[in-house]
Amino acid sequence: MSQRILITGGAGFIGFHLARCLSEKGYDICLVDNYARGIHDENLATLLLHPRISIIEIDLMDCDAVLGLGTDFFAIIHLAAIIGVRHVLERAYAVLVHNVRMLENVISLGKQQGRLSRLLFASTSEIYAGTLKHFELPVPTSESTALAVTDLSAPRTSYMLSKIMGEAMVHQSDLPFTIFRPHNIYGPRMGMVHVIPEQLKNAFQATAGDSLQVYSPSHTRTFCYIDDAVEMLQRMLTCEGCNGETLNLGRQAPEVTIRDVVEDCINISGKPLRIEERPPTSGSPERRAPDMQKTNHLLGYKSRIGLHQGIEKTWAWYCEHVFTRQGVSSK
């Protein structure tokens, strides 16, 4: 009998790609989503034609509905959360309370499983924001870095705090778990609220000689293509050494400026465009990069797809599915 895996937020960016990967490895995948951010586009419809993949539309705030999902899951991957700057600023209380309550229900589901091997919980790189504000944050940043919180009255604190609370809940759940902290994962079907698809769209729509506005041009990041991220996640599921661990998910190097990223997007578009540098975005850290030594050692794997190649793949997908067809890839 095939092992079943539940993925919450399964219609979203990472859930979509992870479901495809895990189904190819022989797992039966049950996706759960309420389509608050993920969408039922033609790509998801095609994915659901796979005999090992199904989807259930429920609200993870409904404990009875969550507990009704079953008792025979090999693993639960909890990706669902209220995220995004707009939601954080407009619905700070809901972000804090709903993210915690959804996780509480998922943990309850985990406790009723007969043979749960792992709860994989998606935290965030934003968890380091308080340490960056109040102390000296080492970059690349390791998982052992002490955590602090930002101003509790600031709306932006709510998302980061919900993930700190979430990590604590997972630690105290008595379930086998792995926590991962994503750092700038990108690729096809990720929506538009990320520098790479946003600037690719700007380049696609621009005409020769136009300029693209680039905020925080000197800030540096590292970027991890979705295929590498998915490979690491599926290894976390089965690696016994990852049980009980908190791991960064991303790429440690190279660290590149936002300007460099946009220049690459322009070059791949093939258009002669200029860059108009704009001020730093409020709240944006000057540097962000994960220390990946622990993750790479435990998994025996490190990112293989370079940034230029990854942007090329992303450009090709968006041109085919979104830019030329007025499609959408997430809300």
Is the pLDDT at 328 greater than 80, yes or no?
no
State residue 330's pLDDT score. 64
Question: What's the pLDDT score for residue 37?
Answer: 79
The pLDDT of residue 34 is 94
Tell me the percentage of the chain whose pLDDT exceeds 70. Answer: 98
pLDDT, tens digit, 9 for 90 and up, residues 146-204: 999 999 999 989 999 999 999 999 999 999 999 999 999 999 999 998 999 999 999 99
**Phi/psi of residue 5, nearest 5 degrees:** -125, 130
pLDDT for the residue numbered 331:
62
Spatial distance between the Cα atoms of 108 and 6, rounded to a whole number of angstroms: 14
- pLDDT band of residue 23 (cuts 50, 70, 90) is very high
Q: Sort strands 287-288 and 177-182 into parallel, antiparallel or unpaired.
A: unpaired
Q: Is the pLDDT of residue 89 over 90?
A: no
Report pLDDT for 74.
Answer: 97
Q: What is the number of other CB atoms lying within 10 angstroms of the CB of residue 53?
A: 20
What are the tens digits of pLDDT across the range 272-318? 999 999 999 888 899 999 999 999 999 999 999 999 999 999 999 99
Give the 3-state secondary structure of residue 330: coil
Percent of the chain residues topping a pLDDT of 90: 91
Per-residue pLDDT for 20 more than 80? yes
Give mean pLDDT, residues 73-100. Answer: 92
Banded pLDDT at 329 (limits 50, 70, 90):
low
Mean pLDDT, range 252-271, rounded to an integer:
98
Alpha-carbon 54 to chain mean position:
21
Average pLDDT of the segment spanning 35-62: 94
Give the per-residue pLDDT at 1. 60
* Domains of the chain (ranges, CATH numbers): 4-188+224-250 (3.40.50.720)
* pTM for this entry: 0.96
pLDDT value for 325: 79
Q: What are phi and psi of 257, to 5 degrees?
A: -80, 155
State the average pLDDT for the chain: 95
3-class state of residue 158 by DSSP: helix
Over residues 105-154, the pLDDT tens digits come to: 999 999 999 999 999 999 999 999 999 999 999 999 999 999 999 999 99
Q: Is residue 88 scored above 90 in pLDDT?
A: no
pLDDT at residue number 262: 98
DSSP E strand boundaries for the chain: 4-8, 28-32, 53-56, 73-78, 118-122, 177-182, 185-186, 211-214, 220-221, 224-225, 245-249, 256-257, 274-277, 287-288
